[in-house]
Chain A
Amino acid sequence: MSADPASFRDPAGRVFIENGRVFRTVNEAAVADFDYARDNDAVRKLVAAGGVIASTPVAANDADAPRVRAARIVEHPRLPFISYPYEWSFPLLKAAALHHLDLQIALLEGGVALSDATAYNIQFIGPRPIFIDPLSFIAYRDGDYWTAHRQFCEQFLNPLLLRALLGVPHNDWFRGSLEGVPTPALARLIPLGPRLSWRVLSQVILPAHLQSTEGSLGKAQATVARPLPKLAYLGMLNDLRAWIAALRPKGAAKTTWADYATNNSYAGEEAGTKHEVITRFVEVVRPKMLLDFGCNTGEYSECALKSGARSVVGFDFDQGALEGAYARAAERGLEFLPLFQDASNPSPGQGFAGVERADLARRCGEARALIALAFIHHIAIGRNAPLDRIVDWLISLAPTGVIEFVPKEDPMVQRLLALRKDIFQEYALETFLSLVARRARVAKTVQVTRAGRVMVIYDRGER
C-alpha cells in the first residue's frame, strides 16, 4: 500500500486509499498539533457544521488501514468527486477562498492557525466547500505570522483578480501552473487604474516589489523576529474577506452560452421530450453519481437530480454557463457540481511525477451514468474530433448513458459549418448508431426534433 500520489508535501502525515476508504496517518512530529486541534472547540464546531471533514479513529485490527508507522490513523468519509481549482468557475473559486478565510478567522479566535493555504485542500460536495486536511491545523501562538499568506494570494486571490480586474478566467493559467498565479506576474499585468487602489497596492504590487528588492531575505528574517499583533493578523484576514466577497467577474454577461437556456434553437416541445427521456432514464438507473457533459446552466442536471440521481457532476467550457449553473446549484441546494472542462482537452494527469493530480477519467470511477445532450457536435464538428473516438471516450466513462445526436441539417450544426468546408462525411446518425452498437447495447432511441435530433440510450450491461 502506498500513499496517495498527491500526499507528499506536508511531512505531518499521509493519505492512503484502500478499498474505497480514505485513511490519514499522523506522524510522531505532528501528533501534538493534531491532538490539540482534534480537541479544540472551534475545530469541533466546524466539523459538526460540515465545513471541515470528519476524522474517525481507526480500530487497531482494521484490515484496510495502512500498515505503516504512525502515531495516529484516522478515516475520513469519501467525497463524491475530487475536483481541482483549475476546474472551478469563478464563483466556485470565490466560495473556496471565502471558506478558507472564514475557517482561519473562526479558528484564530480559538487558538488554531493553518500551516498552509493550498486550494487543493478545499473540495466541493455539490456547490458547498469543505476543508479536507486536518493536518493543516496547528497551535497558534500570539505573535505568529501568516506563513501561508503568499500561498493564499497565489492560489485564491490572484486567480480571482485575474478575472475580476482583467476579465481573464484563471482556469488555463492555473492548469499550467499548479501552484496558482505568481504575484510578480500578476503585478506586471494590472493596469494603472486598479494599481492605485490600496488593496491591489498592498496585496499585489507591494509584495511583488518587496520580494524582488535586494536584501529582502535579511529584512524578512528581521521582521519575523518581531511578533505580528493578533489584531493585525485578524485585520488582514477580515479585509481580504471583504475584498474577495465583493469581487465580480469582469464582463460576465458577454460569454457565448450565458443565456443559452432562453436563447437557443429548441422549441418548448423538444425541451419537454428531452426532460421526459432524462426523467425516465434516471428513474430506472437511479445512479449514485451522474455526469452531465455540456451541462450548460444545469437544466438537465437538475432534472436528473429530481428524478433520483443522488449527485451530478457537470462539465462545460463556457464560463457564463458555469456561473449560471453554480447559481442554480447554490440557490436551490442541489447536489450538483458544475466544473470547467474542455471536452477536446480534458484535465490530464499532471504535477509531480505526472500523477499528483489525476486525469479526469480516473476521477469519474464512481459515475454510474452520463448524459451528453447537444454535446458531441461541438467536438466532432467544432474541433474535428473523430466520431468513433468520441463514442469510445464517452462510453468508457459510465456504464450507461444518454447521448444526443445532432444531425448536420440542424441549425446549430449549420452555424458551426457556416464559414468552413464540410469535411465530415462520417458524421451521420447511422454511423453514430453503429459506432455505439459496437461498444454497448443501444437500449433506446428517441427522436427529439423533426430536423433529426435523436437521443440514444446506451447500456454496457454492467450493473
Chain B
Amino acid sequence: MPATMITVILAAAAALSAMIAPAYAYIDPGTGSIILQGIIGGVAGGLFILRTYWAKVTAFFGGARKAEKAAADRGADA
C-alpha cells in the first residue's frame, strides 16, 4: 500500500513539475525577447492589480454615492 501511495505522490509531483516547466519551442526565443516579456508581464501584472484596487476604490465611493442618490430618490418619492 505505501509503495502505491509513493508512486501516486511521485506521479503527481512529476505531473505538477511538468505543468510549471517552461514550454520551450523548436526555435530559440532569444534572451532579449524573453526578458522584455518578463518586464511587460510584470508591468501588466502591476497594472492589473492597480486596476483591481482602483475598481474597488471607485466602487466604494460610487457605491456610497449611489446609495445617497437612492436615498434622495426615495425622499423625493415620499
Contacts and interface: CB of A to CB of B under 8 A. Distances in A.
B24 to A, nearest CB: 7
Interface string A408-430: 00000000000000000000000
Given A147-B27, A149-B29, A224 B34 contact: yes
A140 B16 CA distance: 17
B32 A229 contact: no
Interface string A443-459: 00000000000000000
B41 interface: yes
A147 B28 CA distance: 7
A115 interface: yes
A217 B34 CA distance: 10
A220 B35 contact: yes
A148 B40 contact: no
B36 interface: yes
B67 to A, nearest CB: 32
Interface stretch (A14-22, A88-96, A205-213, A373-381): A205-213
A432 B37 CA distance: 60
Contacts of B32: 150, 183, 206-212, 216
B37 A228 contact: yes
A151 interface: yes
Contact of B23 (A144, A211, A212, A236): A144
Contacts of A353: none
Given A150-B30, A216-B35, A223-B34, A235 B40 contact: yes
A395 to B, nearest CB: 42
Interface-centre pick from B27, B29, B36, B45 (highest chain A CB count, 10 A): B36
A151 B35 CA distance: 15
Nearest to A216: B31
Interface-centre pick from B23, B32, B35, B44 (highest chain A CB count, 10 A): B32
Contacts of A210: 31-32, 35-36
A9 B45 contact: no
A439 interface: no
A183 B30 CA distance: 11
A185 B25 CA distance: 25
Nearest to B34: A220
B24 A228 contact: no
Contacts of B35: 207, 210, 216, 219-220, 223
Interface string B37-68: 11111011100100000000000000000000
Contacts of B36: 149, 202-203, 206-207, 210
B25 A147 contact: yes
A219 B26 contact: no
A89 B43 CA distance: 36
B33 interface: yes
A232 interface: yes
Contacts of B41: 226-229, 232-233
A176 interface: no
A236 to B, nearest CB: 6
A148 B26 CA distance: 10
Given A146-B37, A228-B38, A229-B48, A207 B30 contact: yes
B48 A150 contact: no
A154 B31 CA distance: 14
B75 interface: no
B40 A202 contact: yes
A232 B26 CA distance: 23
A115 B23 CA distance: 10
Interface in A134-160: 138, 141, 144-151, 153
A293 B67 CA distance: 74
Interface-centre pick from A144, A145, A206 (highest chain B CB count, 10 A): A145
A12 B26 CA distance: 9
Nearest to B26: A10
Contacts of B34: 145, 220, 223-224
Contacts of B2: none
Contacts of A211: 30-33
B29 A145 contact: yes
Contacts of B22: 145, 224-225
Contacts of B19: 141
Contacts of A228: 37-38, 41
Contact of B26 (A11, A231, A233): A11
B23 A116 contact: no
Q: Which 10 A-B pairs have the closest CB atoms?
A: A211-B32, A232-B44, A223-B38, A207-B32, A150-B30, A224-B22, A216-B31, A150-B33, A220-B31, A147-B25
14 contacts: A12-B26, A115-B27, A145-B22, A147-B29, A150-B29, A150-B33, A151-B27, A207-B32, A220-B35, A228-B41, A229-B45, A231-B44, A232-B44, A233-B37
